[in-house]
């Protein structure tokens, strides 16, 4: 499966494009299947229907656990590092992980969970999160993980959309020095989630948590009754493995559905080839499992491959800015994968927290989540990589399941700020404004990024809304998957992602849509209208600027701003709070009444030239807003 040289890459790439069925058939042979497939893939772009390894049967956990346990039971799967460095860390072998997964599978059975049932996981970064995920996969239940930074309202919406029967959470936990009372957030959501029958609570801290008799039980009490054996459920390759919600440009988040067979093949193949991890390496992805990066490159990819990973509960700033590098040294991390926003934040502190001694084990660096600017790239390369580590700028999405465009470590060349080349099996296209593909003939081109062919780990649908799946991804450009990103291709064929071309804004590597934030604000009684735009921020990549008009004037803008921030925290979560809020007399509008976000974006970015505003319904408000803009 492993690509070993640049020449090999070109050959494999060629093969994957000329005969994808033969290419993926061969790769899929490297996994354990209970029954082989009837066809490698089928694709219908018109209907947005795709299948991979149809007819095959497998259980992904046999690939992540059993087959490694047979050969190498004592290999460490995870070094778990707690939030607080004075607490003990834990090493978990493949054997131990398998035992724990099997026992928890039994608990799930006992709770009446079976194949196809949805289970919501709302948990901190603890080994039990991995155990719960894999136990779901073991019995064929579909997990839906909600990042433990989302609000109760966001949790409620996601539970209801997927109609989850069971919620697994923790009483509370520390993120840095902050105590997060997770169960209390759940309890608010649980008032409006009729499908939830049971709640299992992991006691992470000594804090007392209210429990509802008959519904809520503690993790340890459940486990004490459980057996160690659990035969894996036989799954069809196309059965859903999980749902993961991501922002959409309308208010409602999209439940992206990934399936068992193709997702396993795609994440494992990309993990092996992008990172080139060897037997004794220690790999660390700093993402939270609540996002796709954690699903694919902390859990499924690395485990199916058989890697040793670090699993970190905390944040890079606690107890201080040295934490990441202390962990690198402690576990002799060789492969380090993080987000540009973390790199920029640490770079801003200067080099006093970075001790070169602690970084000698590093061989490969990766980034993901948003475009990495030149300055951050250079700092990562020089200060962290000591100029000896390739930097993998990995471009992909929740919907793609696996890395699509990236350098392969020590195999294909790097270029600062470029994601570089597509992985085998990925055929990108750049589209012009008329919807035509821009032909590449050795000169730089730029356009909207599409993928022209199906790939194994692609999303199959949006949970309970296939029409939306079709519309969002497959209707803008006929016969192609539209990514929502813009990209540039240089004369050598390298791709650079230039950013979103739709209403989605990437903040600290997290995908946020403005519509639900505006909807939340608009529910406040005194608010007339609101418009949220992104503007460039040195650390977060982008930050949010809210323009608000009121139904009636007020002398107390401060309390309105406070109410807005509270409402957003409640409805969506703290990550969606705008950095700037400006109360305006009116929002600039087109004659048809549409808010001109283009102009607001320019004001937010501190630009002066707005082009021709005379066609606006209310051109005079532009100057007024500009005069009071927050810099």
For ligand WT7, the binding residues (CB under 6 A) are 246, 292-293, 368-371, 393-398, 419, 483-485, 497, 500, 506, 511
Neighbours of 215 (CB within 10 A): 12
The least CB distance from residue 260 to ligand WT7, in Å, is: 20
Apex 251 CA angle, 249 and 253, nearest 5: 80
Least distance between ligand WT7 and beta carbon 254 (Å): 10
Which is closer to ligand WT7, CB of 243 or CB of 548? 243
CA 318 to chain centre: 23
Residue nearer to ligand WT7 on the CB measure, 105 or 400:
400
Q: Shortest approach of ligand WT7 to residue 417 CB, angstroms? A: 9
Nearer to ligand WT7, 81 or 370 (CB): 370
Token pair listed for 167: 């919620």
Helix (H) or strand (E) holding 563: helix 557-571
User: How many Å is the maximal CA-CA distance in the chain?
Assistant: 73
CB of 512 to ligand WT7, least distance (A): 9
Query: How many residues appear in the chain?
Result: 631
- Burial level of 21, CB count in 10 A (0-12/13-18/19+)? exposed
Minimum CB separation of residue 422 from ligand WT7 in Å reads: 13
Residues 105 and 138: beta-carbon distance below 8 Å: yes
Place of tokens 């993402």: 287
Q: Which residue has the tokens 């607080």?
A: 84
Q: How far is the CB of 275 from ligand WT7 (least distance, A)?
A: 14
CB atoms within 10 A of CB 87: 11
User: Between 112 and 536, whose beta carbon lies closer to ligand WT7?
Assistant: 536
Q: Which residue has the tokens 């066809």?
A: 39
Residue 261 or 371: the one with the smaller Cβ distance to ligand WT7 is 371
Residue indicated by tokens 């990562």: 380
Considering the complex, what minimum distance in angstroms separates the CB of residue 511 from ligand WT7? 3
User: Which residues does 25 contact at the CB level (< 8 Å), separation at least 6?
Assistant: 40
Q: How far is the CB of 456 from ligand WT7 (least distance, A)?
A: 16
Assign 71 to helix, strand or coil.
helix
Q: Shortest gap between Cβ of 337 and ligand WT7 (angstroms)?
A: 11
Q: Is the Cβ of residue 171 or residue 397 nearer to ligand WT7 in the bound state?
A: 397
* Closer residue to ligand WT7, CB minimum distance, 63 or 420: 420
Min CB(484)–ligand WT7 separation in Å: 6
Phi, psi of 368 (to 5 degrees): -160, 155
- Nearest to ligand WT7 of 371, 454 (CB atom): 371
The tally of CA atoms less than 13 A away on the side-chain side of residue 334 is: 12
Least Cα distance to 117 among 191, 196, 219 occurs for 196
127 vs 499 by CB, closer to ligand WT7: 499
Pick 199 or 292: Cβ nearer ligand WT7:
292
**φ and ψ of 278, to 5 deg:** -105, 170
Q: List Cβ neighbours of 411 (8 Å cut-off, separation of 6 or more).
A: 3, 4, 5, 6, 8, 9, 273, 276
Query: Smallest distance, Å, CB 53 to ligand WT7?
Result: 23
**Residue with Cβ nearer ligand WT7 (106 or 395):** 395
Distance in Å, CB of 457 to ligand WT7, minimum: 12
Q: What angle do CA 501, 416, 272 make, to 5 degrees?
A: 90
From 372, 365, 417, select the one nearest 391 (Cα to Cα).
365
Residues contacting residue 262 through CB under 8 Å, at least 6 positions apart: 52, 53, 237, 238, 401, 455, 456, 457, 458
Contact, 69 vs 91, CB < 8 A?
no
3-state secondary structure at position 68: helix
Nearer to ligand WT7, 199 or 451 (CB): 451
Q: 130 or 507: whose CB is closer to ligand WT7?
A: 507
Rounded to a whole number of angstroms, the minimum distance from the CB of residue 531 to ligand WT7 is 21
Task: Map 497-562 to HEC letters.
Answer: EEEECCCEEEECCEEEEHHHHHHHHHCCCCEEEEEEEEEEECCCEEEEEEEEEECCCCCCHHHHHH
């Amino acid at each position: 499966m492993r690509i070993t040289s640049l020449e090999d890459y070109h050959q494999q790439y060629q093969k994957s494009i000329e005969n994808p069925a033969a290419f993926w058939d061969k790769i899929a042979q490297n996994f354990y299947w209970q029954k082989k497939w009837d066809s490698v893939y089928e694709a219908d772009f018109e209907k947005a229907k795709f299948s991979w390894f149809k007819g095959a049967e497998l259980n992904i956990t046999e690939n992540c656990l059993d087959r490694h346990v047979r050969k190498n039971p004592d290999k460490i799967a995870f070094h778990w590092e707690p939030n607080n460095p004075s607490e003990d860390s834990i090493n978990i072998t493949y054997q131990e992980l398998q035992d724990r997964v099997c026992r928890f599978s039994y608990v799930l059975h006992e709770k009446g969970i079976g194949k196809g049932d949805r289970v919501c996981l709302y948990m901190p970064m603890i080994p039990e999160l991995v155990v719960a995920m894999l136990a779901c996969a073991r019995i064929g239940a579909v997990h839906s993980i909600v990042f433990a930074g989302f609000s109760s309202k966001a949790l409620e919406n996601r539970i209801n959309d997927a109609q989850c029967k069971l919620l697994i959470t923790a009483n509370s936990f520390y993120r840095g020095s902050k105590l997060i009372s997770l169960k209390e957030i759940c309890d608010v959501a649980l008032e409006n989630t009729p499908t939830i029958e049971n709640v299992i609570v992991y006691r992470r801290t000594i804090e007392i948590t209210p429990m509802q008799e008959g519904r809520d039980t503690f993790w340890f009490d459940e486990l004490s009754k459980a057996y160690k054996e659990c035969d894996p459920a036989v799954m069809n390759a196309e059965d859903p493995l999980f749902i993961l919600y991501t922002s959409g440009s309308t208010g409602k988040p999209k439940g992206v559905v990934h399936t068992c067979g193709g997702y396993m093949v795609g994440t494992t193949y990309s993990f092996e080839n992008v990172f080139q991890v060897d037997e004794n390496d220690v790999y660390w992805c700093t993402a939270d499992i609540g996002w796709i990066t954690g699903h694919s490159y902390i859990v499924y990819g690395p485990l199916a491959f058989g890697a040793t990973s670090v699993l970190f509960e905390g944040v890079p700033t606690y107890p201080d800015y040295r934490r990441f590098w202390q962990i690198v040294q402690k576990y002799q991390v060789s492969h380090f994968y993080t987000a540009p926003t973390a790199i920029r934040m640490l770079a801003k502190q200067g080099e006093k927290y970075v001790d070169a001694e602690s970084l000698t084990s590093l061989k490969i660096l990766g980034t993901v989540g948003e475009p990495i600017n030149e300055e951050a790239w250079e700092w990562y390369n020089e200060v962290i990589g000591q100029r000896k580590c390739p930097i993998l700028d990995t471009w992909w999405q929740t919907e793609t399941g696996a890395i699509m465009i990236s350098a392969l470590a020590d195999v294909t060349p790097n270029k600062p700020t470029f994601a570089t080349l597509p992985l085998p099996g990925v055929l990108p296209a750049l589209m012009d404004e008329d919807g035509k593909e821009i032909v590449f003939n050795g000169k730089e081109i730029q356009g909207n990024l599409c993928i022209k062919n199906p790939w194994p780990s692609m999303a199959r649908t949006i949970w309970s809304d296939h029409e939306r799946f079709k519309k969002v991804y497959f209707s803008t450009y006929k016969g192609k998957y539209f990514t929502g990103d813009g990209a540039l291709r240089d004369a050598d064929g390298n791709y650079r992602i230039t950013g979103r071309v739709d209403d989605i804004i990437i903040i600290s590597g997290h995908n946020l849509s403005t519509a639900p934030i505006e909807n939340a604000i608009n529910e406040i009684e005194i608010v007339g209208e609101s418009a949220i735009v992104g503007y460039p921020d040195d650390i977060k990549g982008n930050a949010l600027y809210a323009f608000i008009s009121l139904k009636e004037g007020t002398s107390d803008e401060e309390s309105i701003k406070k109410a807005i921030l509270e409402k957003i925290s409640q409805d969506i979560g703290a990550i969606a709070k705008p950095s700037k809020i400006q109360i305006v007399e009116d929002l600039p509008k087109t004659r048809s009444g549409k808010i001109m976000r283009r102009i607001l974006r320019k004001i937010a970015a501190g630009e002066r030239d707005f082009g021709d505003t005379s066609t606006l319904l209310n051109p005079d408000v532009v100057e007024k807003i500009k005069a009071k803009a927050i810099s």
